[in-house]
Amino acid sequence: MTLLDQQIRERFAAAQRIAVISHIRPDGDAIGSVLGLGTALQEAGKDVQFVLADGISAVYRFLKNAGLAQKEISGEIDLAVVVDCSDLERTGGVLGERQPEMNIDHHVTNLHYAQVNLVEDSAATAEIIAKHLPQWGLPFSRETAEALLTGILTDTIGFRTSNVSAETLHTAASLMEHGIDMPDIYHRVLVERTYEAVRLWGRGIDKLQRMDSILWGVLTAEDRKAAAYPGKDDAELISLLSSVRDADVAVLFIEQDAQHVKVSWRARPGFDVSRAALHFGGGGHAPAAGATIEGTLEEVIPRVLDETKQVIEQKKTG
């Protein structure tokens, strides 16, 4: 066992009231990591708080303990574990000034903000948890396996991202061996979509533009209204954009309100869009990154496209 695993094991053993926390606008990896690790801690007899500032969307409610998710920490806790967050701002401020004891994450941009930091370059945070959990002296139930497999499936978009390794597949296979119906989860979280989501795609696709090898698009508040789309996210349109041949980088601008734009970047292997995201106060990975930027669409779009051009230049100049 590594020293880090030993430290994590001891911290879990010593704590009773534990908050497992992840990021705002949670994706499947954030949710799967919180529910997978939290459920294992709960089954070890701990008092667990499952903390997600924006709650859990309907798609993921089939996972055990999804109904227990809370938007803030309540009362005293002995231990705070933050999962899948490269910085503390990503938690939506649920910790206030409190420094978390633990940070488990797979983002290269992670700031190592906790007392114990388990940061590894894996395909998903859920993959790190699945690999290390047996060392931490916690039960590994079918329900934990189901949540962790959901995290791996969604963050790799069904094992399609360039960071998928043989080890990722081995880990996924061992999770399936807990009796998990992987194709069923795959269908629920990656294939099925709402009518409104596809209508929103239509609005975005209609406005796509190309600039050199950058493909970019915009989703406005007006688009969401016209499509009757309830969320403020992109309904995964960015994944579709990243499938367009000949584009090295895809960028999507999602208007949040009059003064904030969420930006998502996706890039082919060899390009590093996390640098552009970091420049605007966001983060992520070389092939997939994001940021929320202050300003109107008119202000933000040219600034981001300029910075994105530099990502392409950097690749050309090595």
Residue 32 binds ligand 5GP (CB under 6 A): no
* Least distance CB 45 / ligand 5GP (angstroms): 31
d(CA 13, CA 165): 32
How many other β-carbons are positioned within 10 Å of the β-carbon of residue 186? 17
150 touches ligand 5GP by CB under 6 A: no
Let me know: does 308 contact 271? Beta carbons within 8 Å: no
| Binding range to ligand 5GP, per CB under 6 A, among 82-90, 117-125, 178-186, 303-311 | 82-90
- Cβ proximity to ligand 5GP: between 15 and 235 the closer is 235
At closest approach, how far in Å is the CB of 29 from Mn ion? 3
Which strands form 288-294's sheet, in the order they lie side by side? 209-211, 214-219, 249-257, 260-267, 288-294, 283-284
Contact pattern from residue 259 through residue 278 relative to ligand 5GP, giving x for each residue in contact according to CB under 6 A and a dash for the rest: -----x--------------
Please work out the total of residues on this chain that contact ligand 5GP, with binding judged by CB under 6 A: 14
- Binding-site partner at residue 289 among ligand 5GP, Mn ion, none, CB < 5 to 8 Å by type: ligand 5GP
The residue written with tokens 């139930």 in the block is: 141
In the bound state with ligand 5GP, the residue whose beta carbon lies nearer, of 180 and 291, is 291
Q: What 3-state DSSP class applies to 49? A: strand
Report the nearest approach of Mn ion to the CB of residue 106 (Å): 6
Q: Per-residue b/e over 136-169, b at no fewer than 16 CB within 10 Å?
A: bebebbebbbbbbbbbbbbbbbeeebebbeeebe
Asked if 292 interacts with ligand 5GP (CB under 6 A), we say yes
CA–CA distance, 36 with 237 (Å, rounded to integer)? 27
Binding-site ranges for ligand 5GP (CB under 6 A):
86-87, 90, 238, 264, 282-285, 288-292
